[in-house]
């Protein structure tokens, strides 16, 4: 999907909500466990109930790998279901991959071509030749970890590297890489005060912002500092939506939670 198509969808739905499909079999309603594919059954119900309020879905691969072969099948079924039924929706494989060049190329092909995701998250530690293979695909995006939402972000990411914090080095340096127009960045919402700094370096890039909700980041602050003329934000929420209820009406409750966020986003978009 092109960036313009994503922007169009945002304006049409008045939402920049991304829903994290971090499916844990211990947290989904117990009655789903008797389904042939409980993970997919859960995802399908969540997607159907929330899709009018969301522009993107982001399964985190860790949760699927944890279920072995069944997990990978459910992941593929989920992305196929999204593309077949809601082709305007943007899909993100939250995989945080990255390896030497020829190996990164395998990961890129797996997620962006074979599985058909619109984008994949990638870790920057191994530098240019570990990321550029992901950038080669037209209308596919690489969402590079810049400043993450966890405590450990302060171990290295915020440390000064040649007078510039590491996450700023990642932003600055990655802009020089080939096909860098296909980059987006992960910026944790728990660090909204950093967003202004980030916007100075990457004014036009889309930012994927996790941590609004369960991790405590605030939507209003994120928008104030992070929004650009193209909106430029995908705000992710996972647990607060998908695990809002564990009873038989879980999907309906998830839909209501997503709608609350969508309404807040509509308000923010009005100020654009």
Binding site for a copy of itself (CB under 8 A): 22, 24, 60, 62-63, 65-66, 68-69, 72-73, 76, 96-101, 103-104, 106-107, 109-110, 114, 123-131, 145, 148-157, 159-162, 166, 169-170, 173
Distances, alpha carbon 4 to alpha carbons 8, 82, 217, 232, in Å:
6, 19, 27, 11
Half-sphere exposure of 131 (CA within 13 A, CB side): 29
Q: Which is nearer to a copy of itself, 9 or 104 (CB)?
A: 104
Q: Which is nearer to a copy of itself, 152 or 270 (CB)?
A: 152
Q: Give the 3-state secondary structure of residue 99.
A: coil
DSSP H or E run through 105: helix 101-108
Q: How far is the CB of 69 from a copy of itself (least distance, A)?
A: 6
Q: Which is nearer to a copy of itself, 110 or 228 (CB)?
A: 110
Q: How far is the CB of 48 from a copy of itself (least distance, A)?
A: 25
Contact 44, 81 (CB under 8 A): yes
How, if at all, do strands 164-165 and 160-161 pair? antiparallel
Q: Which of 96, 128, 218, 224 is catalytic?
A: 96
* Catalytic residue check, 13: no
Q: How far is the CB of 18 from a copy of itself (least distance, A)?
A: 16
Q: How far is the CB of 169 from a copy of itself (least distance, A)?
A: 6
Q: Which is nearer to a copy of itself, 123 or 253 (CB)?
A: 123
By CB neighbour count within 10 A (0-12 exposed, 13-18 middle, 19+ buried), where does 218 fall? middle
Catalytic residue numbers, as ranges:
96
């Amino acid at each position: 999907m092109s960036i313009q198509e994503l922007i169009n969808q945002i304006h049409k739905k008045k939402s920049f909500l991304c829903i994290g499909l971090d499916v844990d079999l211990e947290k989904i309603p117990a009655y789903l466990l008797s389904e042939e594919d409980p993970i997919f059954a859960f995802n399908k119900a969540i997607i159907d109930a929330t899709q009018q309020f969301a522009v993107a879905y982001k399964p985190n691969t860790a949760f699927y790998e944890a279920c072995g072969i069944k997990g990978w099948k459910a992941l593929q079924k989920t992305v196929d279901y999204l593309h077949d039924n809601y082709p305007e929706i943007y899909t993100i494989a939250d995989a945080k991959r990255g390896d030497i060049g020829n190996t990164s190329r395998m990961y890129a092909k797996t997620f962006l071509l074979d599985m058909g995701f619109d984008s994949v998250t990638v870790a920057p530690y191994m530098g240019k030749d570990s990321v550029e293979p992901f950038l080669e695909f037209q209308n596919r995006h690489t969402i590079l970890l810049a400043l993450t939402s966890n405590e450990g972000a302060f171990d290295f990411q915020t440390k000064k590297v040649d007078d510039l914090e590491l996450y700023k080095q990642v932003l600055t340096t990655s802009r020089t890489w080939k096909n860098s127009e296909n980059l987006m960045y992960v910026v944790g919402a728990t660090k909204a005060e950093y967003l202004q700094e980030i916007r100075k370096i990457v004014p036009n890039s889309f930012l994927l912002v996790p941590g609004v909700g369960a991790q405590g980041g605030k939507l209003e602050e994120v928008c104030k500092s992070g929004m650009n003329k193209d909106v430029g934000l995908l705000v992710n929420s996972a647990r607060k939506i998908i695990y809002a209820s564990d009873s038989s009406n879980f999907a309906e409750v998830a839909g209501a939670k997503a709608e609350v966020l969508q309404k807040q986003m509509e308000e923010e978009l009005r100020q654009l």
